[in-house]
Amino acid sequence: MAKITFHGNPVNTSGSLPGPGSKAPDFTLVKSDLDSLRLSDLRGEKLILNIFPSLDTPVCANSVRKFNELAAEKPGVRVLAISKDLPFAHGRFCSTEGINNVLTLSGFRDTDFGKSYGIGIEDGPLAGLYARSIVVIDENGVVKYNELVPEIVQEPDYDAALNAL
């Protein structure tokens, strides 16, 4: 269990992120078109998992915008924006914001992703959502970098994530 904060108040997560050098746990999440996508479907691709509580917050929305911009500069890298927001909200956000370099995925049907990645928020006002975190996975499915942002309302370290590729 990791400890983070939300506006300075302690919050616990369901575990710890998979560490660098470990095999990224497979998952099945829901795309904007309501089809399922497994991590194993993306084998052979370099991935950045941008995990966050909800697109309805400024910091989360900004992280998706920022990774959309950065991904356009990195050919061969796919960014997955993952939250428990409904796929309809993901689609609306991307359409409104002109987001086209990010694949949004929803954990609304899934109960294992938050546990297997250790980012399920266990208590506090955001209990049940995902903690803000980044996981970089290479084309062989191996974790190259992770970051559990210590304060939920802070942005992740974009440069460190990109430098891990």
Is residue 60 annotated as part of the catalytic site, yes or no? yes
Q: What is the pTM of this model?
A: 0.93
Token pair 């992770």 in the structure block, residue? 146
Token representation of residue 68: 């959309």
Question: 47, 48, 55, 60: which one is catalytic?
Answer: 60
Number of separate domains in the chain: 1
The whole domain housing 57 covers: 3-163
Q: What's the pLDDT score for residue 96?
A: 84
Token representation of residue 142: 């191996």
CATH number at residue 114: 3.40.30.10
DSSP 53-78: S-TTSHHHHHHHHHHHHHHHTSTTEE
Q: What's the pLDDT score for residue 94?
A: 78
Asked if 64 and 33 count as a contact pair (C-beta separation under 8 A), the reply is no
pLDDT along the chain (165 residues), means of 10: 90 95 97 94 95 83 80 83 92 82 90 93 95 96 96 92 89
Q: What's the pLDDT score for residue 97?
A: 83
Q: What's the pLDDT score for residue 160?
A: 94
How many residues can be counted in the chain? 165
